[in-house]
Structure 1
Amino acid sequence: IITHHFLIEKSPVRILKNGRAFRQLKKLLQKERFDLIHCHNPMGGVLGRLAAGCYSPASILLYTAHGFHFYKKAPWKNWLLYYPVERALAHLTDILITINREDYERGSRFRLRRGGSVWKIPGVGLDVNRFFSEEEKEKRKARLGFPVDSFFILSVGELNQNKNHRTVIRALSQMEETDICYGICGRGESRKELEKLIEKEGLADRVKLLGYRKDIEEILPAADCFLFPSRREGFGMAAVEAMAAGLPLITSDCRGTREYMRNGMTGIVCRKNRPESYIQAIRQLKNDPEIRRRMGRTSRKRARSFSADATTDVMRQIYRTAAEKYENVNQE
């Protein structure tokens, strides 16, 4: 496999660096011939589709939207900036791939190039057996530095405002129970802010920032439940990994979690920015081991719908469609 490394910044305001990446793409497309070009993520999708539309018009362009930045109840700035761009770039897109129902329905209203099609895939592919273990939770808790008899809640996600860990920390600070521990795996710009909040609320012995981890499959089985409080998610693969580990979920209500979350069956849905909603959910799961077991079994069963095999089956259909489209376009 031949690779070409271009640095594409996530932020649309990083004009100089993204301009350099565009010029690199231009040179590559002028030098090489590609039948299919598949773009991912907002800025990769913008630069890739613009470059391919200008310098490789015969190529079939696929774009996977890992969660549009415009969605129901999104800030008006998101709609003002991102919606017109995606709508315009749809005219350069032959196949649009989405990962949740809301994005699929919105994308289906775009006018794609050459009578293009919109697809929805079941996540990005999960090894459902990787995250399940029969080893005792107590041993795993001890290795993480938590009391073996504690009720251990786990979150996995970047430390930023969107992931909303702050609301959960505030919820824990309002609870009288002192045997509840909370571990957050991830790194990001909000780490110092969260550390200060944890210290301020007197939770340093019960709430730990575990950093970026490559052993999530070893940590998930230590948890009694998985908490996913994001304000916005295109899908949220971390939560599906927790389901594969047989954990009940506590999640916010957003378009991504609606793909797999079933309130009262796989876990409990909370109001995004309401600590009291999380307090109620945590207490319910903590005080009822049988509900945890039942929800955990249902979660594990439902996680199979998002397996790598399920995603691969759909992607094969998509690439077959793209290949057929390429043949038809280049025969004209």
Structure 2
Amino acid sequence: MNTNNMSQAWVLQICHGYDGPFLDCARQYAVLFADSPYKVMTVYLSGKYDAQVEAGSASDEVVFLEYSSKALRGLKLGAIRAIRRIASERNFTLCIAHRFKPTYIACLATRVPVIGVNHAFGVYHRRFRQWFANAFSKRLMLLGVSNAVRDDLRASLPAWPEARIETLYNRIDIETLKAQQVTREDAREYLGLPQDVWVVGNVGRLHPDKDQETLIRGFAKALPDLPTGSLLVIVGRGRLEARLRALTEELGVGHAVRLLGQIPNAKYYFKAFDVFALTSDHEPFGMVLLEAMVAGVPLICSDCGGGREVVDSVGILFPQGQIDALSQKVAAVCTSADGELKNYRSSMIARLNDQFSDQAVESRFWSLPFLSRLS
């Protein structure tokens, strides 16, 4: 055993995989330790080795265990043994685990304090998971990515002190994304959109939770009040694609709705949109809202879940599922004066810096009482 590894203090971060937003989630937590005495090892339970993922993890060491989904079902004994072996080779003082399975593995494979980061609603609704959390409550802290998720966790675990279940918002590397986002003209060319039309944008899985059906119906109702040639552009794929395409034809707006499918690095092209609309009914946070804010795109968001917390005071909210209200908001943004939109953009940048930047969240993270034992 290398004695240098045992003298250096390490933080172990365990992620189920790096698909979707979870690579950036790993980065978000790794950079919190950039100016600390701790090194960070990030372990991905699933997913093949990828040099870009390794670089994007912002960690001192990255391990790809490359388990299949089948291997991560049930008791997950193989993953527990692998993490136990890794833990024996470093002086780990803390483990950060994203989602329940990594939290379960971290608690069983290590003896260090564990922070379980929760990115969804309903994680601890099941009786077994409640029992498990209670069994490890002395060295387990839970974080929700929004107050809405935090409150759901607290309701699931009513015996826990509130200080053991806190909020730590997702965040974004503002300057890096600014540099990556292309101009409006280039974004529209890449996405195959006309340069001279008004565009409502949406990015997300085609899933009932994202409720793009309400978005399409609201856009269809607003269309007569929008400029000629206006488009609704939806980026993403999922099991509802055929149903949503059929809906556009049923409503007679197939010519005005474009379902573009999956676009790699879609966040680079948000300036193609004149307004960004998120109509989810189950939105734990809404990273796409931050990406749209960096692009300076006005926001319309359903008044529920974590999205409401992101958009609060810098965007337009509508009652979730209310088609008439959504159509009115879409038309209102279209007719907003340039000065009003400029004020929106200024407010969004200020909110990003105050609440959702790496720097803003770093101070909040280190103030968590759970981390006092690391100081």
Task: Describe how 1:179-194 pairs up with structure 2 within 5 A.
Answer: 179-194=229-244
Structure 2 CA distance for partners of 1:217 and 1:106, relative to 1, 3 Å: closer
In 2: Cα distance, 1:222 partner to 1:131 partner: 15
Aligned residue in 1 for 2:80: 26
Q: Could you state the TM-score of these two structures normalised by the residue count of structure 2?
A: 0.70
**Which of 89, 103, 118 is the aligned partner of 2:149?**
103
- Equivalents in 1 of 2:120, 2:366: separation in Å? 21
Q: Corresponding residue for 1:283?
A: 331
Question: How far apart, CA to CA, are the structure 2 residues paired with 1:237 and 1:6?
Answer: 26
Query: How many Å separate the matches in 2 of 1:4 and 1:142?
Result: 37
Partner of 1:68: 121
Instruction: State the shift of 1:321 in Å.
Output: 1.3
**What percentage of aligned pairs have identical amino acids?**
21
Match among 314, 322, 336 for residue 274 of structure 1: 322
SS at match of 1:63: strand
Please give the per-residue CA displacement for 1:231-289, whole angstroms capped at 9, x wherever unaligned: 11111111111112112110001120122222xx4221112212111100000000113
Q: Which residue of 2 aligns with 1:48?
A: 105
Q: Does 1:203 align with 2:283?
A: no
Separation of aligned partners in 2, 1:209 and 1:106: 33
**1:111 positional shift:** 4.3
Cα distance per residue 1:31-73 (max 9 Å; x no partner): 443543322124444x425xx34x54x2222200113227xxx
SS in 2 for 1:235: coil
Structure 1 residue identity aligned to 2:73:
N
Matches within 5 A, 1:1-332: 1-5=61-65, 7=67, 18-19=73-74, 22-31=76-85, 32-33=87-88, 35-45=93-103, 47-48=104-105, 52-53=107-108, 55-56=109-110, 58-69=111-122, 82=125, 84-91=127-134, 92-93=136-137, 94-105=140-151, 107=153, 110-111=158-159, 117-123=164-170, 125-132=171-178, 137-138=184-185, 140-174=187-221, 175-176=223-224, 177=226, 178-262=228-312, 265-290=313-338, 291-304=340-353, 305-317=355-367, 321=371, 324=374
Distance 2:141 2:272 in 1: 41
TM-score, reference length from structure 1? 0.78
1:110, CA displacement in angstroms?
4.4
Distance 2:182 2:115 in 1: 43
Check the 8 A contact 1:250/1:268 in 2, yes or no: yes
Amino acid at match of 1:65: N
Aligned residues of 1:146 and 1:206 also touching (Cα < 8 A): no
Count of residue pairs brought into register by the alignment: 300
TM superposition shift of 1:173? 2.3
Q: Which amino acid aligns with 1:197?
A: L
Question: Equivalents in 2 of 1:82, 1:95: separation in Å?
Answer: 17
Distance 2:206 2:152 in 1: 29
Write out per-residue CA displacement over residues 186-220 of structure 1, whole angstroms, 9 at most, x where no aligned residue: 22222222222223333333211222223334311
Match of 1:155, SS?
A: strand
Taking only aligned residues, the RMSD between alpha carbons, in angstroms, comes to 3.1
SS in 1 for 2:74: helix
Give ranges in structure 1 of 5+ residues lacking alignment.
Answer: 71-80, 326-332
Higher relative contact order (CA 8 A, sep 6+): 1
> 1:192 and 1:201 mapped to 2: Cα distance?
14
- 1:73 maps to none
* Larger displacement relative to structure 2 (194-203 or 273-282): 194-203
- Answer whether contact 1:90 1:112 (CA < 8 A) is retained: no
The 1:118/1:322 distance shift into structure 2, 3 A limit, reads: farther
Greater mean alpha carbon deviation, residues 84-93 or residues 272-281: 84-93
Change (3 A) 1:201 1:43: farther
Question: 2 CA distance for matches of 1:253 and 1:156?
Answer: 18
What 5-or-longer segments of structure 2 have no aligned partner?
1-60
Deviations 1:268-315 (A, max 9, x none): 111221211110000000011333332222122212220122233434
How much has 1:155 moved relative to structure 2?
Answer: 0.9
